[in-house]
Amino acid sequence: MKPLFDFLIKLCILTVILWAVIIWGVAPGTIDLRSVFIAWVMIFVNTLSGYLLFEYAFERDSSSFNKVVFGGLTFRLLVMMLLVGVILVGNYVSDYDFVLSFFAFYCIYVIVEILGYQKKNKQKKNIA
């Protein structure tokens, strides 16, 4: 469970840093914080679920691993596309702020997710 704990700690630290930059680094009133928050929640849940699926499938055989990880990736992608479509069509948020923060958060959090995968693989090699 140590890699999961490390991943969660890194995710929390990154989240605090990003929100500090958003809140204190941007001129007040220039962005819609509600739109940014909704985008952040979506990406945070997506990243966390992706890593948890990876953890679940890690010790399984290759076929099961691929089904869980790539099937989970496909399902997460479809859910994210559906949510983005509903949010944008329903005009629930400021489009520009939402889309910009969604892509920014996605690019940053996917790097953390990949680094978490690599660390887990590296620990397995060190044990073996």
**What are the structural domain ranges in the chain?**
2-127
Radius of gyration of the chain (CA): 17
Q: Could you read off the pLDDT of 46-104 as tens digits, one per residue?
A: 999 999 999 899 888 989 999 999 999 999 999 999 999 999 999 899 989 999 999 99
Q: Could you read off the pLDDT of 43-58 as tens digits, one per residue?
A: 999 999 999 999 899 8
C-beta of residue 72 within 8 angstroms of C-beta of residue 49: yes
Of 85, 23, 76, the closest CA to residue 52 belongs to 76
Of 104, 118, 94, 75, the closest CA to residue 14 belongs to 104
C-beta of residue 50 within 8 angstroms of C-beta of residue 76: yes
